[in-house]
């Protein structure tokens, strides 16, 4: 039976070939592409700032039906005008509502549509903004974003998260607001949805750096995406420069950079370290490039890297850059921490080292630089097969699709609805009883007036 589903998520989507494509947009696309096959879908998408070229020239709302569902893309500054979102959602008369990623789930919670609500929390806002609060020396960020997450977890009927670590963190949050209770004893609130990989085969369309700005025989280490608060740029710089000084063929190429309206500080700190170095000519920054151009950099690189410092975000969050590199067949070297790095280590799908281990990072780079191209490609091929088999859109959404067959409110939310109706009926009965007795009616009226004036 077809259902009408409203999705609140992030924009832009991959088919728009944006200048910056974040994990949240790919995750939103996964829900839309899978659900549109057997359901009527409306997506209300909040544009992530800096994602489009000539962003200021775009209209406030863009309506696109080219992907087989009704897609409204909102300027992020206007997404908070909840009445417009609520109007579109209610006019669609949905059977269920899905929030994909934390901020969209917050807006979904504000709509109060009284239908089954699945909230996808792709990473912990509290753990992420703990780091921003530390970097900016302002505790406001921690409590503000915890308030946003609290509004979601008070409301939703089901949740998905990006890792097993985050699942247990969220169960703790639910316990803190008393939703881990007798009524919900045998109810499974939280499911894990790994970051998906896009359903595409990557191609090398044009030469972008090898043999042009970097020697043909160089060993190229590739970084992609933003440098966020959990990125250990000191370890990245110290480890790679130590390796470069012992092997003249090692070069570093970076796609991405600072994160507009969120965190430019970490990237700028990294640039300063490089600019003060005597081998800064071995570092090349391409900046943010269109989604369709990223595969060219994959094909001309030897290894992709991910470097995290110690934090709760590192352990609870995902790392979409790793998913995408594996999907392209690029072998990965990463610090251990996020759940995906445990998968890589346990299944021998790439290369790992301990958080904070500069010497371990340097040694791994030097060994990889001496490894044969054939062995590296074999590792990349194995990781690619694993990613396509386990992180495709359909596979990662399997538990959500099971729930979709018979979506229901959570036991405690059903109980709340019952008691609200019961209270409403009791109020009507009380009014009818008192209306028949003039003296009792006046007594109740005076009591309510006194309470009103006292307030």
Q: For residue 284, what are the β-bridge partners?
A: 253
Mean pLDDT of the chain: 91
CA-to-CA distance for 95 and 407, rounded, in angstroms? 9
Binned at pLDDT 50, 70 and 90, residue 427 comes out as: low
Binned at pLDDT 50, 70 and 90, residue 432 comes out as low
β-strand partners of 6 = 42, 97
- Identify the helix (H) or strand (E) that includes residue 227: none
pLDDT digits (tens, 9 = 90+) for 255-290: 998 887 778 899 999 999 999 999 999 999 999 999
CATH of domain 4-196+395-409: 3.40.50.2000
pTM of the model: 0.88
pLDDT digits (tens, 9 = 90+) for 286-340: 999 999 999 999 999 999 999 999 999 999 999 999 999 999 999 999 999 999 9
Instruction: Supply the CATH classification number for the domain 219-391.
Output: 3.40.50.2000
pLDDT at 233 over 90: yes
Tokens encoding 133: 């609060």
pLDDT at 78 > cutoff 70: yes
**Residue 51, pLDDT score:** 85
What secondary structure does DSSP assign to 173-192, as a single string?
Answer: HHHHTT-SSSTTTT---EEE
Residue the block writes with tokens 């054939």: 374
Higher pLDDT, 180 or 441: 180
- pLDDT at position 452 is 47
- Residue 15: CA count within 13 A, CB half-sphere: 11
Confidence of residue 355 (pLDDT cuts 50, 70, 90): very high
pLDDT (tens digit per residue) in 7-31: 999 999 999 999 889 999 999 999 9
């Amino acid at each position: 039976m077809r259902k009408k589903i409203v999705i609140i998520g992030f924009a832009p989507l991959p088919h728009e070939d944006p200048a910056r494509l974040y994990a949240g947009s790919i995750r939103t696309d996964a829900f839309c592409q899978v659900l549109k096959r057997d359901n009527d879908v409306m997506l209300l998408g909040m544009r992530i700032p800096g994602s489009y070229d000539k962003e200021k020239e775009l209209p406030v709302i863009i309506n696109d039906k080219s992907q087989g569902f009704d897609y409204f893309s909102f300027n992020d500054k206007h997404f908070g005008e909840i009445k417009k979102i609520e109007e579109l959602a209610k006019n669609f008369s949905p059977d269920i509502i899905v929030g994909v990623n934390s901020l969209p789930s917050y807006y979904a919670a504000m709509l109060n549509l009284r239908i089954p609500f699945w909230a996808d929390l792709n990473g912990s806002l509290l753990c992420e903004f703990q780091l921003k609060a530390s970097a900016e020396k302002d505790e406001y960020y921690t409590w503000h974003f915890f308030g946003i997450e609290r509004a979601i977890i008070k409301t939703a009927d089901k949740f998905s998260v990006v890792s097993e670590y985050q699942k247990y963190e969220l169960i703790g949050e639910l316990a803190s607001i008393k939703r881990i209770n007798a009524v919900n004893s045998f109810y499974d609130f939280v499911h894990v949805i790994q970051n998906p990989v896009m359903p595409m085969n990557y191609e090398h369309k044009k030469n972008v750096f090898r043999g042009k700005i970097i020697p043909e025989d160089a060993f190229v280490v590739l970084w992609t995406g933003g440098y966020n608060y959990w990125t250990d740029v000191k370890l990245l710089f110290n480890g790679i420069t130590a390796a470069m000084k012992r092997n003249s063929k090692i070069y570093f190429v970076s796609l991405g950079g600072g994160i507009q309206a969120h965190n430019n500080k970490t990237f700028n700190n990294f640039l300063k370290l490089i600019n003060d170095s005597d081998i800064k000519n071995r570092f090349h920054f391409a900046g943010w490039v269109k989604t369709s151009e990223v595969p060219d950099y994959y094909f001309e690189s030897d290894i992709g890297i991910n470097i995290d410092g110690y934090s709760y975000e590192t352990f609870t969050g995902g790392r979409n850059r790793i998913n995408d590199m594996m999907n392209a067949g690029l072998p990965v070297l990463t610090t251990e921490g996020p759940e995906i790095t445990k998968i890589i280590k346990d299944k021998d799908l790439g290369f790992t080292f301990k958080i904070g281990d500069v010497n371990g990072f340097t040694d791994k780079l030097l060994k990889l630089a001496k490894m044969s191209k054939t062995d590296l490609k074999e590792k990349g091929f194995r990781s690619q097969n694993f990613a396509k088999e386990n992180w495709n859109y359909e596979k990662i959404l399997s538990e959500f699709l099971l729930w979709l067959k018979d979506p229901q409110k959570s036991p405690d939310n059903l109980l709340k609805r019952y008691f609200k109706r019961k209270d409403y009926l009791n109020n009507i009965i009380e009014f009818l009883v008192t209306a028949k007795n003039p003296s009792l009616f006046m007594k109740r009226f005076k009591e309510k007036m006194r309470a009103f004036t006292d307030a």
